[in-house]
Structure 1
Amino acid sequence: MREDGRARPTGRVAARNAFEQARQRYFALPPVARRTIFIVLLVASVALAAGLGWDMLYTFFATLTILAFTVLALHFPRGAATLLVVAVWSVICPFIMVVANSQAIGSFLLFPLWLLGLVVAGIAHLIRWVPPWLTTALALGAAAITGMLLRLVSDPAALYGAYGGAAVVLVWRFVLARQAKARQAPPEVPAQQRVRAGGAPPHPHAQGEPGRPPQITVEQALAQLEGMIGLEPVKEQVRSIAASIEAARLRREAGLTSDAPMRHFVFVGPPGTGKTSVARSLASIFYAFGLLETPYVVEAQRADLVGEFLGATAIKTNELIDRALGGVLFIDEAYALINSGDGQTDRFGHEAVQTLLKRAEDDRERLIIILAGYEKEMTAFLASNPGLSSRFSTRVRFPSYQPAELLEITEALQVKRGDRLDPAARPVLLGLFDDVHRRGLVDELGNARFARSVVEAAAQARDVRVISVGGAPRGEDLVTTTASDVSKAFGEITARFRGYQATPTLEDALADLDRMAGLEPVKRQVRAITAQLRVARMREEQGLPVQSQTRHFVFVGPPGTGKTSVARIIGRIFSALGLLARPDVVEASRPDLVGQHLGATAIKTNELVDRALGGVLFIDEAYGLVNAGYSGGDAFGAEAVQTLLKRAEDDRDRLVIILAGYEREMDALLATNPGLGSRFNSRVVFPSYSPQELAEIAEMTAADAGDRFDAAAARDLDDVFGYVCQERLIDGLGNGRFARSLYERAAMRRDVRLAAQGSATSAELTTITGDDVRSAVDELS
């Protein structure tokens, strides 16, 4: 729609659409690809000139000029159009003056006329709401006619006349721009009617006059928000904002002073939680109160603000803000404006932020800016510039959707498509959403976007099912999604997500525990813990009181006794019982928790715990957190322990923490802080392996690799393991690790022996002899 509200001719619309499509395809190309295309075109033009006998230097500069203008037109189309008008003016103005008077034009007249083109172009770009290139063309056209007529009198008269004619047109265009802006302003509606409109409100999209935004009452604007599923904390905060605006209006009407309503916001939360939709509702609310000229939202990201060279970013950001003036500018993933990933200052992003801050202050009465993104990244982004935190002080937090809300969103999307969900499929889909929520993967999968993906995939599965049956399907079958369609769609989507694994069964976890060599006391204790957790779950299902269950453990024992393996089994048991979102184990030690200066340790420990949330955090050699060798105490380790204790309590329903190490050192660690002993009160003692258990580990390791020990090798293993256990050397050698290392060295000695032999049977290739074992012992000793 033009400024005067009249529709453009069809040909102009088609040409504009074609140009915008070309721009989108251009910006979709990587910068390297764009430069490559330009270089290829430049080289091809020079090669063509050489083949046709043209002047190569002239062809080179002509092609370079055309390409430069093309780039300018794609990046700044209005500026390119204005430049073209100025270029035409610079070429034809001498001829116009000569036509009016046959005398040659002198520098007294020529240079001021050329300068007039630049001056008019600069002023035209300061006059908003009308196309600057058209303003420039009209002003220079008037200057040409006036100057040509007055040159019949004298050159000074022609010069003053040209400038005067251009000035008259610029004033006229400025008046037109003000009128166009006034036509875009919302109609004056009495405040009482805006807040409490009587009778049936008009349709939200009804327009009173062509070119005017729709008339919206506050009730209609708030109804848009209330119609959204979930987001109760967000709705409450937006209702508070609306109430503040109304209270300020009432104070002004009563002659009291009132602060200006908040104008800029920060939306934080995971993806797919309706931040863009709430931004549109907020725009409608401010528009209904008469605080915005339009209810429209301009959506943008980093690429829409940042240019390809310094200086271009400010121009690009200002052009984006000019498009959003009168409404809302919504910048998603705003934290990407400051990209510090390469370790250097992001000068382009900094230029965009500085321009944004200036316009946020200068145009605060005509514009609302909303910065959106993940909470952690947005907090760091706002802290990077004091101006950001001061101007964007209102934060709206968006929670993740609950399973029931995801189900409601799914059904709403199906109704919008003209589909329906079979009643039997509702509990199936709710259970699947509940499983995703329990695993803590709703945010990674995209919340409402995930629900939309499920709807589309389920519809595709339904279509395949109906068509594969053959015959003429009923109309009801073509729109009904069944439980099998939902399950198939859900499986296809989650299969592509690397964080989604099948829930381990309790039987499989316990079977893997039983297959471990030795560790009988550990196995009994783990089974007892499992039984306790299962009974607690049954009591909870029957509504009986349940005591607080063990969530954090201390594993004590020498190295190589299977502590890490048992920690993984613990994770699978808790996951199978629904007490953890996933069975993953994050392994760590002191360097993963302790920072290089005070304050950094808490941040580093919290980041580690965040990675482990939903699973198991296994800290090996945990006694290293408190280093008694430091004079004055280990302040860094103490900070890590305090942070760990707080998170162990705060996230006890989402995390299992296991501290592991030697028994004596772990006792000393637990004694350093009373909180450790109270929160880590379940101890699992891992004994050293016996000679028979070590031999079993070696044989199991060999069997997993497709090898075996012959009788002589088995006897040698018994002798070696018996000796190291009798001499109490096994703990220093690493228990099970020593058994695995001995097998690996023996297998290597066999391979060396067979390689020197030249040929070998399949039995020889898979058999480890006594000589191989003795050679391996000699190497290890």
Structure 2
Amino acid sequence: MKRSFPPPSGANKRPPPAEPPLDGAAAAALRLQAAWRGFRLRATGLAPHARAAAAAAASMATSRTSARLAERVRSAEYRQIGRCCKLADIRRLAQVDLELEALVGLEPVKEYCAQLRRDLIARAALGDEPLLRNVLLSGNLGTGKKLGARLLCAMARALGAARGATTTETTLEQLVLDVRRDVSCVVVSELSGAENVKAKVNAVLSNFPRHMFVFLGPTHEVEALHGAVTYFRKAEPAWLQLPPYPADELAAITEQQICEAGYRLEEGFTRREVRQAICSTWSRDVLSMRNAHLPHELVQRAISNRNCRLSLKELLHAPLVLRGADFGLEPQGLDSLLAERQATNAEVKQLIGMAPLKQFLKELEAKVMYVQAGGDPRLLEGCLNVVLTGNPGAGKTTAARLLFRSLRAYGLLRKNVFVERNALELKGTHIGWTCPQVKEMVQAALGGCLFLDEAYALSGGGKDGDRGDSFSDEALRTLLTETENNRSSLCVVLAGYRDGMAHLMRADPGLVRRFPTTLHLDDYSPAELACIARQTAAARYGLSFAPGLEASLAAHIGTVHAAEIPKHNASLAVQLVEAAMNRLAARLVASAAASPAEQRTLLPSDFAISPSSSADDALAAAEAAIAALPSQLSSAKAHLLALRDRLRFVAAGGAEAALRGATRLVLCGGEGTDADAVVDALCLLLAAHGVCRGGRVCRSALGLAGESAAAVCAKLEDMLDAAAGGVFVLRDVGALVGCAAASRALGVAVGGLPARTAAVLVGLPHETDELMKAAPALAACFPPRVVLPDLTPAEVARLVASRAVSTFSLSLAAGVEEQLAAQLSFEASRRTKLEELQFRNGALADALLQRAVGRLASRAAAGRALRTELTSADFGLCGESSSPGSSPISVP
């Protein structure tokens, strides 16, 4: 019999009737509701909806994490842990494990947590008492020390080895007050403290041996604490040194923070581009210094850039997406960098002089191009520090600023920061102030350039020869440490005079290693100074040079101002232009009919450039002075003529070094042998050829005898500074015989003089010979030795007659000159050697003449007839018929 089954429920039901069509009012209501939803969407924008979607996605991620957590708690592994560790909180342990797995970086913490987990589980399974070791966490800023300490304490509490549901967080100063017996996990920060505080810490650790103390701080503070607390020698703590985050891990942290902020990256913008943004924004030194703080700053900077990029209407309707432009990777940034590089290169090409700087920048550009072509980028991570040396006005500050702009244009410096300071500003005024002051200055320039002028002041001596002070030593040591810690993120430029900087580089061996590049800026040539003057006149005053003026000015500077170049350099050109402006104003006021073109044109007369006849007159005066030297000074005359030939050789284009030996002269002669006449002729000759126009400085060596080496060096430096570009005359050099320190100091000082500064030593022949034998270095500096012979009796008598006319307008009576010569010959044969040295040559002539004039004045006062000639009686001679020696001359 065939059974029949009832039809399924609802099989016989009819389909629901179709809804009746809406009437006009209902359709209008639906359209109104849809319009209202669209209006709200347009009014509020897409951003709130995107934010809600992001919140929903975060909630879903939390739900997935909770599901994974529940699944892990139910797993066999965790059930076994629960059976072995009765005090363990399995859910909290699974939560800590998940957090460690998702953690970026912190490998030392992960490894120690894994070891701690295995050890505590094993001890619980075997029935042993759990062991919690104290932990030291050290690392730079942002390396995750607090996060690592929280995970360690959470692991200890999850396994039931630590008492208390929370962790005590305190500082080293408050540790004694905050530690509790019912909370066995203690995190201690701010480890710097006095010695008595560290002693109390030692007592706390001894009283709470079952607690786990986690000390976290910078490496140097953790090292100091480890050495100061004696308890650590009984129970060695675990020391976890957290390394800096590499760029890949920072990129991963950045991605996490972008998601947490509710944003997402645009399509095609991956972790690789995020890493590129991080590396292009901060240098490797800054990355290792700031670590995990940088991703937060990068994300917030990208959000700010997005907010500035979009208008308010666009912000309300645009999705929460961050583009590459928001991270500074926009293609236009490369174009601006290339434009800045081209402008910097053009400025370098237009620079006058500074050949070493141009060569250095050329090599730097070649390295950048090599890396951009596929070379190893580590080639550009070298030390950027530079030492700039040069005389005043050589352009050290200009070179430092141009170097900074070039490094910025090449992408080697990330920040547009140029900090310019005098090196003395690094030194504190109180003990303990110098080190923080140097660190603050370095931090202010981090990512850019720190320019320290007059850096030789940090040597404690430098240019002034001081003995130094502790502040200078501390500033120098701190600066070296900071430059080493920021090798690739900071360019430090030390500038100063060449000798002072050489003294500084010898003060500490580490300076040479940390400042491997030294650029010396030579003095400007006269042609370069004339070009600088033309540019200064055009840039500052809108004036132009008359045709041929630049060449005439170069010749004028080389002739008249050559001695001033080492002291002023570019400042000399500026001073000349300013003086020319004054003369131009006076000239235009005097001539009211000047055209507009003439009012904007500088002429040779504005620079006090005289016609060539004046130079010829100076040469003629020098030739006349040489020709007027007495016949007995033939050797001196020969030396001056040889020097004239060398000057002509240099003026024709020869090397200036040819003048160095000829402008060092030793005049050996007794008193009154006309050494002054030789020096006068030398000064005229050098000035006429544009050399040593700085004037004459005469000093006596008596002030150097018996002084210490330091005092002699200081005095010589003052003397030579005053004579720079002129003629330095040192008399009485025999006083230095037996003074080895003074002789060596004189040799060193004179050996360092430029060729355009002449030096003349004057002394007695035998003393000069003895001095040169005792000081070979001094003898090497003065190869020419000109001997000034003694005057014969006839020459002394002739000198008396000439000086009587030139000085007193008196003449000698007939036959007096011959009688005087005969009497001097007789007296010379009777005098001792000492008396010959004291009373001879021009000194004897002056003494005789003064005595004769005195007797003539006595006769005039006695009422006798005034005569204009000197007789034999005035000189103490008996008469014309008297024989020589019958009336000895009385010499004062």
TM-score of the superposition, structure 1-length normalised?
0.56
Q: Does the 8 Å CA contact 1:709/1:769 hold for their aligned counterparts?
A: no
How far apart in 1 are the matches of 2:367 and 2:699? Answer: 50
Deviation (angstroms), 1:420: 1.0
Q: Partner of 1:461 in structure 2?
A: 583
How far apart in 1 are the matches of 2:844 and 2:302? Answer: 82
How far apart in 1 are the matches of 2:302 and 2:839? Answer: 83
How far apart in 1 are the matches of 2:802 and 2:427? Answer: 60
Q: Is the partner of 1:326 in helix, strand or coil?
A: coil
How far apart in 1 are the matches of 2:725 and 2:303? Answer: 56
Q: Is the partner of 2:484 in helix, strand or coil?
A: helix
Deviation (angstroms), 1:331: 1.3
How far apart in 1 are the matches of 2:796 and 2:606? Answer: 51
Q: Partner of 1:53 in structure 2?
A: none
Q: Does the 8 Å CA contact 1:307/1:348 hold for their aligned counterparts?
A: yes
Give unpaired runs (5+ residues) of structure 1: 1-107, 113-118, 127-170, 205-214, 492-500, 628-633
Deviation (angstroms), 1:317: 3.6
Structure 1 window deviating more from structure 2 (265-274 vs 603-612): it is: 603-612
Deviation (angstroms), 1:314: 4.0
Deviation (angstroms), 1:231: 1.6
The partner residue of 2:569 within 430, 447, 453 is 447
Provide, for residues 127-163 of structure 1, a one-character-per-residue CA deviation record: whole Å limited to 9, x for no partner: xxxxxxxxxxxxxxxxxxxxxxxxxxxxxxxxxxxxx
The partner residue of 1:276 within 397, 403, 414 is 397
Deviation (angstroms), 1:593: 11
Shift in alpha-carbon separation, 1:440–1:513, aligned structure 2, 3 A: closer
How far apart in 2 are the matches of 1:370 and 1:361? Answer: 14
Q: Does the 8 Å CA contact 1:279/1:297 hold for their aligned counterparts?
A: no
How far apart in 2 are the matches of 1:318 and 1:673? Answer: 48
Q: Partner of 2:513 in structure 1?
A: 390
Q: Is the partner of 2:522 in helix, strand or coil?
A: coil
How far apart in 1 are the matches of 2:760 and 2:405? Answer: 52
Correspondence 1:738 to 2:844? yes
How far apart in 1 are the matches of 2:385 and 2:648? Answer: 51
How far apart in 2 are the matches of 1:328 and 1:681? Answer: 48
The partner residue of 1:520 within 626, 631, 648 is 631
Query: Aligned residues, how many?
Result: 564
Deviation (angstroms), 1:261: 1.6
Deviation (angstroms), 1:241: 3.2
Within 5 Å, give how 1:12-411 maps onto structure 2: 202=336, 217-247=340-370, 254=376, 258=379, 260-302=381-423, 304-340=425-461, 341=464, 343=466, 345-411=468-534
Q: Partner of 2:249 in structure 1?
A: none
How far apart in 1 are the matches of 2:563 and 2:439? Answer: 40
Shift in alpha-carbon separation, 1:376–1:586, aligned structure 2, 3 A: farther
Correspondence 1:428 to 2:552? yes
How far apart in 2 are the matches of 1:372 and 1:187? Answer: 39
Deviation (angstroms), 1:396: 0.8
The partner residue of 1:690 within 782, 792, 811 is 792
Partner AA of 2:618 in structure 1:
T
Deviation (angstroms), 1:434: 1.9
Correspondence 1:724 to 2:827? yes
How far apart in 2 are the matches of 1:182 and 1:723? Answer: 110
How far apart in 2 are the matches of 1:675 and 1:731? Answer: 28
Correspondence 1:560 to 2:672? yes
Q: Does the 8 Å CA contact 1:724/1:730 hold for their aligned counterparts?
A: no
Q: Does the 8 Å CA contact 2:344/2:405 hold for their aligned counterparts?
A: yes
Provide, for residues 582-622 of structure 1, a one-character-per-residue CA deviation record: whole Å limited to 9, x for no partner: 6747677699799979x999999999999978666767788
Partner AA of 1:292 in structure 2:
L
Structure 1 window deviating more from structure 2 (264-273 vs 280-289): it is: 280-289
Structure number with greater Rg is 2
Deviation (angstroms), 1:245: 5.0
Partner AA of 1:570 in structure 2:
L
Partner AA of 1:359 in structure 2:
E
How far apart in 1 are the matches of 2:450 and 2:855? Answer: 70
Q: Partner of 1:3 in structure 2?
A: none
Deviation (angstroms), 1:566: 1.7
Q: Is the partner of 1:737 in helix, strand or coil?
A: helix
Deviation (angstroms), 1:670: 9.0
Deviation (angstroms), 1:357: 2.6
Q: Is the partner of 1:267 in helix, strand or coil?
A: strand
Q: Does the 8 Å CA contact 1:567/1:585 hold for their aligned counterparts?
A: no
Q: Is the partner of 1:440 in helix, strand or coil?
A: helix
Partner AA of 1:572 in structure 2:
L
Q: Does the 8 Å CA contact 1:568/1:583 hold for their aligned counterparts?
A: no
Deviation (angstroms), 1:345: 3.4
How far apart in 2 are the matches of 1:626 and 1:280? Answer: 50
Shift in alpha-carbon separation, 1:536–1:344, aligned structure 2, 3 A: closer
Q: Is the partner of 2:563 in helix, strand or coil?
A: coil
Q: Is the partner of 1:371 in helix, strand or coil?
A: strand
How far apart in 2 are the matches of 1:182 and 1:385? Answer: 47
Q: Partner of 1:572 in structure 2?
A: 684
Shift in alpha-carbon separation, 1:738–1:359, aligned structure 2, 3 A: same
Provide, for residues 273-302 of structure 1, a one-character-per-residue CA deviation record: whole Å limited to 9, x for no partner: 222222222212222333312244221114
Q: Is the partner of 1:566 in helix, strand or coil?
A: helix
Deviation (angstroms), 1:216: 5.3
Q: Partner of 1:166 in structure 2?
A: none
Deviation (angstroms), 1:397: 0.8
Partner AA of 1:378 in structure 2:
M
How far apart in 1 are the matches of 2:303 and 2:839? Answer: 86
Provide, for residues 702-748 of structure 1, a one-character-per-residue CA deviation record: whole Å limited to 9, x for no partner: 77776979989x89977874543343554452422233356668889
Over the matched positions of the two proteins, sequence identity in percent amounts to: 26
Partner AA of 2:445 in structure 1:
A
How far apart in 1 are the matches of 2:741 and 2:383? Answer: 42
Q: Is the partner of 2:608 in helix, strand or coil?
A: helix
Shift in alpha-carbon separation, 1:477–1:743, aligned structure 2, 3 A: same
Q: Does the 8 Å CA contact 2:707/2:742 hold for their aligned counterparts?
A: no
Q: Partner of 1:89 in structure 2?
A: none
Q: Does the 8 Å CA contact 1:746/1:772 hold for their aligned counterparts?
A: yes
Q: Does the 8 Å CA contact 1:625/1:637 hold for their aligned counterparts?
A: yes
Provide, for residues 654-686 of structure 1, a one-character-per-residue CA deviation record: whole Å limited to 9, x for no partner: 576767666678789999999999998877553
Q: Partner of 2:278 in structure 1?
A: none
Partner AA of 1:432 in structure 2:
H
How far apart in 2 are the matches of 1:640 and 1:696? Answer: 42
Shift in alpha-carbon separation, 1:391–1:192, aligned structure 2, 3 A: farther
Q: Is the partner of 1:345 in helix, strand or coil?
A: coil
Provide, for residues 458-490 of structure 1, a one-character-per-residue CA deviation record: whole Å limited to 9, x for no partner: 22322232233236x5322332112211227x9
Provide, for residues 400-420 of structure 1, a one-character-per-residue CA deviation record: whole Å limited to 9, x for no partner: 111221122222222223221
Shift in alpha-carbon separation, 1:725–1:316, aligned structure 2, 3 A: same
Shift in alpha-carbon separation, 1:183–1:261, aligned structure 2, 3 A: farther
